[in-house]
Structure 1
């Protein structure tokens, strides 16, 4: 090391010592000043001048704390080891100088700015909290402020999994009493507000503080096997935690029962009611520490399902706040799950300035759509679709494009998806999709299209298979989940599992750990495990065989297809796995596919008339009688001709953005009806007989004709 470097280091060391000594002197002066004030009983000192002087000393010390971490630690440890925290609290107890101490303590508590220093500042906040709690009541304003600040700090920093003696940091045994204290206050709050419908209720600050102290404690307990605390300490925590959990759970449950009663009007929404959801979220976290408590928690939630749904309906803003209920869908209903899922879907607006224009050739529908959608770099303000050599434009054409393009995606002839054997409406990725060299890119395109259909609220009339849906949600696939996907394999596997052991061990099945499948016209074999062709299936390994067979057939063989579909879906809906976890398969299929049944009574109730009179014009009576006699497919084609939709929202016709309408057309009565799909308008000529009307309606309900008459 050069002499120059040595001189620099010596200079730096000397400056560091000098700064520490200055800081120590500042604290000693501050302590002395406070002691003198406490001794002053005759009030001969002017409070305002004293206040300014004390605050100036506090600010000078805080502003002298270096930005460098190691040096800052030295200054902050001086506070901890000094008598200043105790002296300031003593000054706070003096009514003459209460505000001076109040302001000074708040400066110490709120001065942390450097995130790496928060653990040390948290310990300073802890010191003030401990000293204040020994001298004032827990409802004291300054104590509450210090406690809240401590909670905010440890919520950010966490609790180090080490003993305090090893390092000057906030420890679990020093934080836990505050958690119990706050929970007791929260319990009293719940008692006082039970069944209350007024605006004075639970404290937002108290509930927030409960969460702040609970989170770091929970994190330590969750990893308790890896921490260095003695087991006896955890024995002291377990019982109080359980008592706290059951006390708060019982009171929140009772409150929600009262909320669900007729004592509370359903059109009243009180802001603090949202805190019930926050408390339940915290209690659910605690319950996960103990299996029996988790079961009890969800049993209570089933009892207050109505109130829980009511609160989510009125207060849910971000679905990620409610992921704790995703795995227990029985405590919510379809409408709540749909609400939470659709919060993850980006909103689209009719923004002409950010419009994405697509000109689609019907004869190359899937290819053109693929080219346009794969080029999208972000979700545009709006999609605009027009078919080549056609005049029609607008929302109706967009809906038609979505419907037709998605039907092509799921058309088995395109080899991307296959229909389930027992349900031609449910689809599963085709493991032989590699027949198309671009099949993975098409799966990514498919994911984008489905997500866009959800964003634009277009029902496409298809459904997903359970095994496919589970993988999108990040869940495992077991034998029961393939019942509809492959009924034959399901029955075969069940027979193997329930067959007499002696029969299986006698090699009557002739099975080894090999899976056979057909791809591109060739029969292939895949070993389910190393040397699988040499391992005979017997009564001891048959469960393993079935599990591996299911994984190969329904997971491994289509892993790439599912991954690319998920990627495309995430391009539009970023929290894709959470989206699918939020819903059941039935929920998702109803949202995406729409209702299969079409009620003529509901249809008629949501239809208006222009030029016709529903009561006096016989043409209207004829029309509905004809619709009632139509087959399901004919009704769908008429609906498609009228609105560019073959399926309805889950609410039926009431879920559409406007009513349908029948307009009187004054042209020749031998013409076919026409429509304005964007406005749900059916233009109906004045036919002179029911037979003539039926003949014309039957023509437009033919599958290859229904899309040829729609206009703007």
Structure 2
């Protein structure tokens, strides 16, 4: 629209070339200032066309010297500060007020050139009004006696706005700020009308921003939010509020701080998709507040708000995946400000790490990560073809940032090495067994190492440096894992350094992926099982339960038996797994070389419910792991690799199918000339199978029957043979098992196996491989009613030493409902074992309370009688019963 204009009673004294020259000089000043480091720039929060930093004057009302190029430094330094003006320039249309800096001897035309840089309105279409009078271009500002903080009016041809009410609210904010600044504080001015406080105006402004609804698409309300916030920034409100905050008057300072915090919190209150629109304004606040002071609390809050916005947008980008959206673009355009914040937080991390009294706070580390992730995303996006990067990186986008990240990486790596040394010294000779001495201030070390590890992936040789550090500090690294890794943490990165960890660490990391079983009995899944129909009834209870219902825990009871509790549950797990992996069943095949190991049976389809039973088995195994029960059955290597979604090689099938392994090995190692001269031993690309007495021939690839195996294609033949025999034939069975396992785990199954070796999984399913040590057993047993020196106790251990391994395990099963002990021995049990004396007739059989690991027997008068009673309960049919009602 066209505004009313004052009559032009005079000709402009400068021609178009003169105007262009002024604009060119103004623009050059802007570019020069942008390349001046913050520490060299005087504070001037109002100037959006020049970088500045705080002038250390006693009052914020005092003017500051302008930062310029080296050629103008001498000239600017000789200027008197009293000639520097700060002017409020209000547009007569659109309700916008700008803050412009000028010199008293500047001409009106030079002032218009400055406003043109902000308004984008041509100089020839602008007029300035002061005290009702139009100013002539050729006169200086001092000619019209224009003083500090004067209000001018700009009139001219302007574009219309779609949000006039928002413009008016912003104009009101600028008016209030100007009023407080000129009046020396709100207490010295007449009261404003109700609703005219800055905080009320900020709240009103955000209330106008449309929120998501069914009528508008995501892009509609995001675009609308952007338009509203552009009004806020184009009117210099951020600079005005920062100026208020930097005032020497406490009332002004408090008001500025409150208003800025209200704005930042309002940004975080917007819906997630709209929060990304706040980036430009929050970035502007960061730039301005950084010039006040890097260590300013309000600046820290502003930086943290930016970090929170980045977290939200990063989560949305992660959900969007590879589809490039406007959110991806926003992460890429955060730019230098993001790097500055990341660098500042890196310095903070370094300081906190070396502080002997305080460690890094979880909040600071979280924000450190918040700024690192988009920075890493930008580097990956723009330099993906160069990663890992070889330094120095020349003439490339992000060259400076990449070099600086490398320096931060090196510094943090060295600092973490010092910190790990301190932990190692504190732990002493007991190592991870002494984790109770671990200080809470070390709690964020793993999270910092996670970021350092991520940084290392960008550079050639970076990952090797982290591996070297962790391998040289295995003890403190493992201690940190056992002490501080909690359920719900993102610790997948630690699997990259699996070789530096112990079995206890790897088991702990895997177990933290399971949900935390609840102790509330009202939420437990109850089962009442008949021993005579154990498998079928167990299948019904577990298969029909919801995954969430199983997460709460299990309450187990056998029909017509007295006992309940954890001991009964442990026995149920053992007995169900005995049924599932029984050679009499059709679900699993026993390994020929190791009778303890099993793999899916391709012929299990004879049972119409075989897929459901594989899913049931996956649930049972995951539940047993979650409840820390060793069930005794082990998986062969091929089955384990399939669950971990790893490629199966020839060496992997060695213990699963020794005949096929030897045949394939011979084919690959045979002399090529001999192999081809014998026509590839008559082999073609087929696999001969036999299931339930029926032989079949399966082609390994198209036209496999007519494709002969030669020395040139024999590697392909072996790979296809292994894939068809061990992957394709049982892929559906493995998939169903994984589905059942996932129901309990609730994270991808491969995430669980990523942390483990096959031997670790063996230890979790079966426990220790060695025979039971009676000495270890005795060392972890306590007594009630007996003393360790009593002859009955001495007899008991003598009898155990005389028993076979299987008899000892039966006694252990009767005592604890488990035939297996953890890898670390009896100390790995959840409790000590106890022998209780019962005051019953001396010929009574022993009893047990498996939930509490209690074995109870009377004071037997002779060793022979005790041995007779113990050998009786060592029989399987006796040890697997809790007594009848």
**TM-score w.r.t. length of structure 1:** 0.87
The 1:580/1:380 distance shift into structure 2, 3 A limit, reads: closer
Alignment of structure 1 residues 195-214 onto 2, 5 Å: 196-198=355-357, 200-214=358-372
SS in 1 for 2:596: strand
1:160-202: per-residue Cα shift (whole Å, max 9, x none)? 99xxxx99975646534543453355335424642x442x333
Alignment of 1:215 with 2:215, yes or no, is no
> What is residue 635 of structure 2 aligned with on the other side?
464
Identify the residue that residue 144 of structure 1 maps to in structure 2.
300
The CA deviation string for residues 140-172 of structure 1, in whole angstroms up to 9 with x for no partner, is: 2222222221222123224999xxxx9997564
Residue 678 of structure 1: CA displacement?
4.2
Partner of 2:666: 495
Q: Which residue of 1 aligns with 2:456?
A: 287
Shift in Å, 1:680:
3.7
Match of 1:420 among 578, 585, 591: 591
Residues 563-619 of structure 1 show CA distances to partners (whole Å, capped at 9, x for unaligned) of 1111122222222432222322222221221224211012222334455444242x4
Range that drifts further, 87-96 or 51-60 = 51-60
Aligned to 2:794: 621
Match of 1:585 in 2: 758
- In structure 1, the residue matched to 2:499 is 330
Distance 1:694 1:548, change over 3 A: same
**Which residue does the alignment assign to 1:183?**
343
CA distance in structure 1 between the aligned counterparts of 2:179 and 2:858, rounded to whole angstroms: 101
Residue 780 of structure 2 is matched in structure 1 by 606
Q: CA deviation at 1:690?
A: 4.0
Moved more, 466-475 or 65-74: 65-74
Relative to structure 1, the CA distance from residue 389 to residue 153 in structure 2 (aligned partners, 3 Å threshold; closer, same or farther) is closer
The answer to whether the 8 A contact 2:172-2:196 is kept is no
Q: 1:624 to 1:179 in 2, by over 3 A?
A: same
Moved more, 378-387 or 46-55: 46-55
> What runs of 5+ residues in structure 2 fail to find an aligned partner?
1-158, 212-220, 386-393, 429-433
Distance 1:482 1:581, change over 3 A: same
Equivalences for residues 124-523 of structure 1 within 5 A: 124-133=281-290, 135-158=291-314, 170=330, 172=332, 174-187=334-347, 189-191=349-351, 193-194=353-354, 196-198=355-357, 200-224=358-382, 232-262=396-426, 267-290=436-459, 292-348=461-517, 351-354=520-523, 356-377=525-546, 378-379=549-550, 383-388=554-559, 390-506=561-677, 507-523=679-695
Could you say what secondary structure the match of 1:622 adopts? helix
Q: Distance in 2 between matches of 1:333 and 1:674?
A: 38
Partner of 1:45: 188
What's the Cα RMSD here?
A: 3.5
> Residue 661 of structure 1 aligns to a residue in which SS?
strand
- CA distance in structure 2 between the partners assigned to 1:312 and 1:225 by the alignment: 33
Distance 1:72 1:599, change over 3 A: same
Separation of aligned partners in 1, 2:526 and 2:361: 52
CA separation in 1, counterparts of 2:292 and 2:581?
Answer: 70
Moved more, 361-370 or 145-154: 361-370
Distance change >3 Å, CA 240–CA 572, structure 1 → 2: same
- Return the alpha-carbon distance in structure 2 between the equivalents of residues 462 and 484 of structure 1: 16
Aligned to 2:199: 55
1:95-122 CA-partner distances (Å, limit 9, x unpaired): 2232232222233333221333222211
Per the alignment, in what secondary structure is the counterpart of residue 602 of structure 2? coil
Taking the aligned partners of 2:616 and 2:714, their CA distance within structure 1 comes to 39
Secondary structure, in 3 states, of the residue corresponding to 1:88?
helix
* Structure 1: 5+ residue stretches without partners: 1-15
- Give the TM-score of the pair, scaled to structure 2: 0.71
Stretch moving more, 306-315 or 231-240: 231-240
Structure 1 equivalent of residue 274 of structure 2: 117
- Compared CA separation, residues 148 and 634, structure 1 to 2 (3 A): same
Q: Distance in 2 between matches of 1:362 and 1:170?
A: 62
1:543 is matched with which residue?
Answer: 715
Q: Deviations over 1:248-288 (max 9, x none)?
A: 22212222222221399954454442222221121222223
Which structure: greater helix fraction? 1
Over 3 Å counting, the alpha-carbon distance change for 1:47 and 1:263 in structure 2 is: farther
SS at 1:302 equivalent = helix
1:80 aligns with 2:233: yes
- The aligned length equals 686
Q: Aligned pair 1:90/2:264, yes or no?
A: no
* Deviation at residue 209 of structure 1 after TM alignment: 2.4
Distance 2:190 2:687 in 1: 88
**Contact 1:460-1:593 at 8 Å conserved across structures:** yes
Residue number in structure 2 paired with 1:552? 724
Instruction: Choose between structure 1 and 2 for higher RCO, CA contacts under 8 A separated by at least 6 residues.
Output: 1
Shift, 1:387, TM fit: 4.1
Report the counterpart of residue 826 of structure 2 in structure 1.
Answer: 653
- Partners of 1:95 and 1:701 lie apart in 2 by 87
Q: What secondary structure sits across from 2:188 in the alignment?
A: coil
CA displacement at 1:407 relative to structure 2: 0.9
Measured after TM superposition, the shift of residue 358 of structure 1 is: 3.8
Match of 1:570 in 2: 742
Q: Distance in 1 between matches of 2:553 and 2:821?
A: 22
Check the 8 A contact 1:207/1:275 in 2, yes or no.
yes
Give the drift of 1:443.
0.7
Instruction: Flag the 1:548–1:610 CA change in 2: closer, same or farther, 3 A.
Output: same
Equivalent residues of 1:505, 1:539 under 8 A apart: yes
8 Å contact kept, 1:649–1:656: no
Stretch moving more, 366-375 or 656-665: 656-665
Question: How much does 1:416 deviate?
Answer: 1.0
CA change 1:315–1:167 in 2 (3 A) is closer
Q: Which moved more, 1:527-536 or 1:358-367?
A: 358-367
What SS does structure 2 have at the residue aligned with 1:537? coil
Aligned-partner Cα distance in 1 for 2:702–2:880: 55
**Retained in 1: the 8 A contact 2:525–2:553?**
yes
Q: Match for 1:533 among 677, 687, 705?
A: 705
Task: Give the drift of 1:531.
Answer: 1.6
CA distance in 2, matches of 1:568, 1:38: 68
Separation in 2, partners of 1:168, 1:485: 48
Deviations 1:29-77 (A, max 9, x none): 4335434554557999349979974434434433333444444332221
1:49–1:258: structure 2 CA closer, same or farther, 3 Å change rule? farther
Q: Distance in 2 between the 1:23 and 1:683 partners?
A: 81
Closer/same/farther in 2, CA of residues 289 and 628 from structure 1, 3 Å limit: same
- Separation in structure 1 between the aligned mates of residue 884 and residue 350 of structure 2, nearest angstrom: 60
Instruction: Tell me whether 215-224 or 514-523 shows the greater mean CA deviation.
Output: 215-224
**Range with bigger deviation, 437-446 or 457-466:** 457-466
Structure 1 position 64 matched with structure 2 position 224: no
Separation in structure 2 between the aligned mates of residue 573 and residue 32 of structure 1, nearest angstrom: 59
Rounded Cα–Cα distance in structure 1 between residues aligned with 2:223 and 2:809: 74
CA distance in 2, matches of 1:665, 1:577: 53
CA contact (8 A) 2:556 2:564 kept: yes
